[in-house]
Amino acid sequence: MVDSGNASAPKPSSSVKLVLLGEAAVGKSSLVLRFVNNAFQENKEPTIGAAFLTQKTALPTRTIKFEIWDTAGQERFASLAPMYYRNAQSALVVYDLTKPTSLIKAKHWVAELQRQASPGIVIALVGNKLDLTKGAGGEAAALPAEEEGVEGEGEGEGDGDARKITTQEGRSYAEEEGLLFFETSAKSGVNVQEVFTAIANAIPETQMKTSRQGAGGGAGGGTQAALGSDRVNLTGGKGEAKEGCAC
Amino acid sequence: MPHDASPPSKRSSDRQNSGDRASGASSNGKEHGPPSPGKDDNIDEPAGDARDFAESSKAAPPPRLDRDVRPPLPPRPTNISLIQDSGAIAGQRQHQSPRAQLLSRATTAISKADIQAQPHKDSPKKVSPTSEQSTPPQGPSQAFGSIRSLKGLGRSDAGDTASIRSFATTVGHGGDNESLLGDGLFGSSQDLPTWRLFSNEEGGIEPEELDRSEDEEIDMNFYKEFDAVAGVSEVGQDEEKLIRQWKAKQKHFLILTSAGKPVYSRHGDDQLISSSIGIIQTIISFYEANDDHLKGFSAAGARFTIMSQGPLYLVAISKLGESDTQLRAQLEALYMQILSTLTLPTLNHLFANRPSTDLRRPLKGTEVLLSALADSFTRGSAPALLSALECLKMKKSQRQIINNTLLRTRCPSLLYGLIVAGGRLVSVARPRKHSLHPSDLQLVFNMLFEAGGIKAGGGENWIPICLPGFNKNGYLYMYVSFVTASPSSSSSADNNNNDEAIENPEDISITQDTVAILLISADKESFYELRKMRDQLIDELDKNNSMQTIRSAIRQGRPAPTDIVPGTVIRHFLYKSKGNVQFMMPSFEPHFPTMLDRRKLLSLYHALHAGVHAKNAHLKVYHCISRNAVSLAWVTPLFELYCVAGPNASRNALAQSANKVIQWMKREEERVFIIGGAVF
Ligand SMILES: Nc1nc2c(ncn2[C@@H]2O[C@H](COP(=O)(O)OP(=O)(O)OP(=O)(O)O)[C@@H](O)[C@H]2O)c(=O)[nH]1
Ligand SMILES: [Mg+2]
């Protein structure tokens, strides 16, 4: 609720459905908590089912209201995922920079999204827990993930560096697949707002549902059905996504 | 007499029945014994009350609807039929989801006892927990007729009357213990605990272990009870020390597979508990191999209670003095949590395919829920002890408005709708043909209010959950939204709560100013529909001032005992309305401010509860005098009352207060309890 105050300025506003996917405990809920409440919890409990949150974010020309599905990473909830990404315009696929299996899982999710979700869906690949890697000091906060990552890359595993997945590995995969790419820390807040802003920027205006309707009523089968016709196959979508990534 | 006809097991008795029994009991009570020790003019009081109580609740028409006389609130007692209408088994198809058929099957569950019917049951030779639970605590008719005289009790007024039974727990009264406790009450029943902190009757612990220094040590330990035991593999950990820490815990819960694989342990990591798991598995399977089923044993001042459920063994190790039956109910709740996560078919399937399955993986994320349950048992939980719910007290007409609002805004896929405030139930909407089981609500409340995760996440939630009492074979979907009870921010979740406040889950902030809206459906796609209903519901509740009502009811909190009975010696009490499967209690303040105070209080309640629910203890009134308290349990077919007064209170005064409490309850019944509810 932190920054939502200035969001009430009379700009055009539109809503964006976003889903978070990724292995258990990679920090999906923590990213959302950081984005929505600007807070962090050291021992966050696993999500059960899914949580639905909304948060407004102000862009220079408009206000975006994110309708966020924070899904549970536990295996047993996987079968419910389609319900959450089915109508999503964007997805955050999260992995844990300190856990190799989590990138594999992330790739699975990306593949599933590309196969099953709305064709124009904007996907951001997010390597989280950057604070656990070397060179994740305070000054890194200002830097886009990539630059900072490049430095850390060659160094391998130095003291106190729990990084298991290099920035290069994540980024080149993201490039191949046309995904936005960020390395974040929900704990320190690095790059969290940036991910959401980049997503907001990457979604073509035509795909957004304008103003109140979507926001308030964002409910009901009716809206969902309407959204179905909204599905525009934007071949340009991926290209734009890359640009957004370089912001 | 009517109660003569009542069978020892009243599993499928309906309300009419219990009403009859009630009148029977009350007339009986007139003859044989109210809780007042030996004063004739007191004797009539409770009896008359009991009858009136029966009549009033029988007469109370289920608000709205041409319904039968069944208790209108969904949650049912384990010992009363959980079927709403026994004919209602098939054909409940208004929910078109693939789960629809599961709905109809659920109604076939008769009671909690049904749910635990698993291949490996408890010993047929001994009294099984199942049968214990489905037995009405009053037992057969002679319960009311028995007269047991009291001899030699230190502070007893000589004229103690019928069916009053007392025991002393103080070391000072030690000389009397034998004669007081020798027969009937505990001694003759195999199913009874052999070890009990507060009653200290037979077996297990030696009397001197209960002296003050021991008590204090227990007190000290209790404050460390919830501290984590570090992992063995963590650097710099001395395993000896860890094991000492582990052993110092007052209570353990272990779950293992029959193949000996660890599933869950409240304390200690796998490595630390592996030897204990091995020993326990060896002991259990030794008995199993001989076609016997080990139910429990005492060792080292702790009671070990074992429950075998399908492919799982659940073990409780307690130094807190609960009875086997009570511990088994706790294990049962843990098992229900496992079912709630997996469903029974999934659980069975996993083990049918591979008996050596490691259940930790499929249960991942459920540990926090199991631990939240375990810790609530360790802290002591009145709802768990009584298998009953607590409601938010408000005027009948106000609740009616809320009920009607729920019904008006109900969407087609709604199965159950609940409004919960301050951890207490405000209103329930349900289909006429489906009740809500206390054990299911226990799981839901545990998930939402004890385990802080969901609430701390903020936002709304969509949770697949199996409610085993409803249907152990499939999932339902639960929409959860926490709403701050102020009109302005009605749709925003309350994010500023820290779940550390759990130590005092009642009075303190965690659940204080929030109202939880729980909408349950069998349709996994119905999130947006339920969400819309939530919006309408909140909107209307705001408009018709009900949010305001709820808010002030929360703010008012529970009344103090002296608000209920001015000048009473009672420091705390539990009143359970059996027909409604609800209970009422006053505030813990001012006498029980700390967690430890409450644990001791709850231990006393456990002892009283065990006393009146003991097999063969056909008691109606049960006194207990200990160093710290004088207490009383009073059980009729309609209610159970447990009261605790200070150590110097006279039993007379306590009994009189108890009568006054009953009078008050009778007067306030329709405010304190949800009677009727929103049925559609
Ligand atoms: N150091 C560090 N820890 C983090 C970060 N993000 C999350 N965590 C921790 O990682 C654990 C899991 O975080 P969650 O946000 O619950 O992970 P999740 O992906 O939502 O997990 P599921 O809900 O089970 O799918 C928690 O203990 C968090 O405190 C981070 O950026 N840095
Ligand atoms: Mg999560």
Domains in chain A (CATH in brackets) are: 13-206 (3.40.50.300)
**A83/B524 Cβ within 8 A:** yes
pLDDT in the model for residue B278: 79
**Cis previous bond, B590, omega within 30:** yes
The alpha helices in B460-517, defined as continuous H runs, are: 468-471
pLDDT in the model for residue B132: 34
Which of the two residues, A207 and B306, has the higher pLDDT score?
A: B306
Band (pLDDT 50/70/90 cuts) for residue B456 is confident
- Taking any CB pair shorter than 8 Å as contact, residues of chain B touching chain A are 341-342, 361-362, 364-365, 368, 447, 451-454, 456-465, 477-478, 492-493, 495, 524-525, 527-529, 531-532, 535
- DSSP letters for A142-191: GS-HHHHHHHHHTT-S-TT----S-HHHHHHHHHHHT-EEEE--TTT-TT
Q: Distance between the two ends of chain A, CA-based, in angstroms?
A: 25
Chain B residue nearest residue A46, CA to CA: B365
Instruction: Verify whether ligand 1 is closer than 6 Å to residue A188 (CB atom).
Output: no
Band (pLDDT 50/70/90 cuts) for residue B615 is confident
Least-confidence region, from A30-39, A99-108, B454-463, B628-637: B454-463
3-state secondary structure of B624: strand
pLDDT in the model for residue B624: 83
Q: Which of A200, A163, A202, A201 shows the shortest CA–CA distance to A185?
A: A163
Amino acid type, A172? S
C-alpha to C-alpha distance for B362 and B345, rounded to whole angstroms: 13
Tally the residues of chain B: 680
C-alpha to C-alpha distance for B108 and B114, rounded to whole angstroms: 9
Could you report the per-residue pLDDT of B255-291, keeping only the tens digit for each?
A: 988 888 888 988 877 777 777 787 888 878 777 777 7
pLDDT in the model for residue B37: 41
Mean pLDDT of B177-206: 32
**A53/B524 Cβ within 8 A:** no
Instruction: Verify whether ligand 1 is closer than 6 Å to residue A42 (CB atom).
Output: yes
What's the CA angle centered on B415, arms B476 and B350, to 5 degrees?
15
Mean pLDDT of A54-64: 89
CB B308 within 8 A of CB B437: no
Amino acid type, B596? L
Band (pLDDT 50/70/90 cuts) for residue A89 is very high
- Taking any CB pair shorter than 8 Å as contact, residues of chain A touching chain B are 1, 24, 29, 33, 36-37, 39, 41, 44-54, 68, 70, 72, 74-77, 80, 83, 217-221, 223-224
Tokens of A182: 């960020």
pLDDT in the model for residue A36: 93
Band (pLDDT 50/70/90 cuts) for residue B110 is very low
Band (pLDDT 50/70/90 cuts) for residue B571 is very high
What's the CA angle centered on B463, arms B461 and B546, to 5 degrees?
50
Residues of B with CB below 8 A from A224's CB? 528
Q: Rounded mean pLDDT of chain B?
A: 68
pLDDT in the model for residue A156: 43
Amino acid type, B234? E
CB B390 within 8 A of CB B75: no
pLDDT in the model for residue A230: 37
CB A59 within 8 A of CB A201: yes
Q: b/e string for A90-119 if b means 16 or more Cβ within 10 A?
A: bbbbbbbbbbeebbebbeebbebbeeebbe
Cα of A48 vs centre of ligand 2, distance in Å, is: 8
Instruction: Verify whether ligand 1 is closer than 6 Å to residue A50 (CB atom).
Output: no
Sign of the dihedral through C-alpha A203, A204, A205, A208: negative
Instruction: Verify whether ligand 1 is closer than 6 Å to residue A51 (CB atom).
Output: no
Measured from the Cα of A72, ligand 1's closest atom is 25
What residues contact B368, with CB distance under 8 A and at least 6 apart?
A45, A46, B451, B453
Q: Which of A26, A30, A71, A77 to mutate to test the pocket of ligand 1 (most atoms within 8 A of CB)?
A: A30
> For residue B92, is pLDDT > 80?
no
pLDDT in the model for residue A207: 64
Mean pLDDT of B531-541: 94
Sign of the dihedral through C-alpha A86, A92, A96, A102: positive
Instruction: Verify whether ligand 1 is closer than 6 Å to residue A26 (CB atom).
Output: yes
> For residue A97, is pLDDT > 90?
yes
CB B564 within 8 A of CB B393: no
Residue located nearest, by CA, to atom 11 of ligand 1: A25
Mean pLDDT of B305-310: 87
Mean pLDDT of B469-477: 92
pLDDT in the model for residue B258: 84
**Shortest CB distance from A41 goes to which of B456, B464, B493?**
B456
Instruction: Verify whether ligand 1 is closer than 6 Å to residue A73 (CB atom).
Output: yes
**A221/B528 Cβ within 8 A:** yes
- The one-character DSSP state at B505 is T
Spacing of C-alpha B527 from chain mean position: 30
Residue located nearest, by CA, to atom 9 of ligand 1: A27
CB A95 within 8 A of CB A106: yes
What residues contact B450, with CB distance under 8 A and at least 6 apart?
B372, B373, B375, B376, B502, B505
Q: Which of B428, B379, B331 shows the shortest CA–CA distance to B680?
A: B428
Band (pLDDT 50/70/90 cuts) for residue B221 is low
C-alpha distance from A243 to closest chain B C-alpha (Å)? 32
pLDDT in the model for residue B617: 67
Band (pLDDT 50/70/90 cuts) for residue B201 is very low
Tally the residues of chain A: 247
CB B414 within 8 A of CB B520: yes
pLDDT in the model for residue B588: 92
C-alpha to C-alpha distance for B197 and B207, rounded to whole angstroms: 10
Q: Distance between the two ends of chain B, CA-based, in angstroms?
A: 37
Task: Work out the number of other CB atoms within 10 angstroms of the CB of residue B17.
Answer: 17
Q: Which of B347, B465, B333, B514 shows the shortest CA–CA distance to A48?
A: B465
Please state at what angle helix B324-342 crosses helix B438-445, rounded to 10 degrees. 70
**A83/B454 Cβ within 8 A:** no
Least-confidence region, from A74-83, A141-150, B255-264, B345-354: A141-150
C-alpha to C-alpha distance for B284 and B288, rounded to whole angstroms: 6
pLDDT in the model for residue A208: 67
ipTM, 2 dp = 0.76
The burial class, CB within 10 Å (0-12 / 13-18 / 19+), for B536 is middle
Which of the two residues, A33 and A160, has the higher pLDDT score?
A: A33
Tokens of B172: 């000072």
